[in-house]
Structure 1
Amino acid sequence: MKAIKITYWATTTIVALMMTYSAYAYLTQAAMLQAFNHLGYPGYFRVELALAKLAGAALLLIPLKSLIKEWVYAGFTFTFISAFIAHSASGDPVNYRVMPVIFLVFLAVSYITYHKVKQATTKNPAL
């Protein structure tokens, strides 16, 4: 059980940190405005997505056992899949396409281990 908890917190922290960093970059770096224009997105979407990423990262790290966390996982899943599609459709280099897939794998591991930890603590609240 200890290995599952460590895996859960490690992958969850990596995803949350990456989402926080990308939100920060969206709000502070002029290159991100150009990147969003390149992908065909309006400027306000960059700010909207940054705020959603910050909220999602915070909710992912808070020890909730509710439907809210499921929505955060779903939202981040859509975000990573959409990023892969957008970068692929606009002809971006392979590393731009691969990174969302890598973080989607981290998110999937986080999600799977979240449910394993949740199930174990439901059976034995002392864990």
Structure 2
Amino acid sequence: MQPKTLKIIFWVSTLLIFIFEGVMPALTSQTEMAKEGIRHLGYPAYFGIMLAVFKVLGSIAITVPQVPATLKEWAYAGLTFDMVAASTSIWAVEGFSFNVFFPLIVLAVLMVSYFTYRKLNTLQYSKAIA
């Protein structure tokens, strides 16, 4: 795959994650609907605030190019844990429904971002050595 194509795929997927995991939680985490969602899943109220902060920070970390690679890796891991935990929590409380799949769909987009990020870094590293 061409580097230009990889960059486009990376930026589109990463910006989608930034919107879903950064912008949306920042704007909606204190709404009654979000608070009720956290309560419905059996989590304390402070968990929603903490989760929103970490989602925003993680999405910023994967979006800003100047963030060190190690921190980006941790951000990708944290966002992955979040999506898997969200899906599992929904399944445990509501049973098997479409709601279980939505975090997994976002996770798939996150994985596209991660794998294109890794591929782009590998290409840059190999160019630096040559």
- TM-score, length basis structure 1: 0.91
The aligned amino acid for 2:35 is L
For residue 123 of structure 1, what is the aligned residue in structure 2? 126
**Is 1:26 paired with 2:29?**
yes
Work out the CA distance in 2 between the residues paired with 1:53 and 1:76.
7
Work out the CA distance in 2 between the residues paired with 1:95 and 1:23.
24
Work out the CA distance in 2 between the residues paired with 1:67 and 1:79.
18
Work out the CA distance in 1 between the residues paired with 2:19 and 2:85.
19
2:16 is paired with a residue of what secondary structure? helix
For residue 109 of structure 1, what is the aligned residue in structure 2? 112
1:90 is paired with a residue of what secondary structure? helix
Q: Where in structure 2 are there 5+ consecutive unaligned residues?
A: none
Work out the CA distance in 1 between the residues paired with 2:109 and 2:126.
26
What is the Cα deviation at residue 52 of structure 1?
Answer: 0.6
User: Identity of counterpart residues, as a percentage?
Assistant: 31
Work out the CA distance in 2 between the residues paired with 1:79 and 1:55.
13
1:84 is paired with a residue of what secondary structure? helix
In terms of mean alpha carbon deviation, does 18-27 or 108-117 score higher? 18-27
Runs of 4+ in 1 over 3 A off after TM superposition: none
RMSD: 1.4
The aligned amino acid for 1:112 is F
2:94 is paired with a residue of what secondary structure? coil
**C-alpha distance after superposition, 1:55-74 (max 9, x if no partner):** 11111111134210000000
Q: Where in structure 1 are there 5+ consecutive unaligned residues?
A: none
What is the Cα deviation at residue 97 of structure 1?
Answer: 1.0
Contact 1:65 1:118 in 2 (8 A): no
Work out the CA distance in 2 between the residues paired with 1:119 and 1:57.
22
The aligned amino acid for 2:106 is F
For residue 3 of structure 1, what is the aligned residue in structure 2? 5
- TM-score, length basis structure 2: 0.89
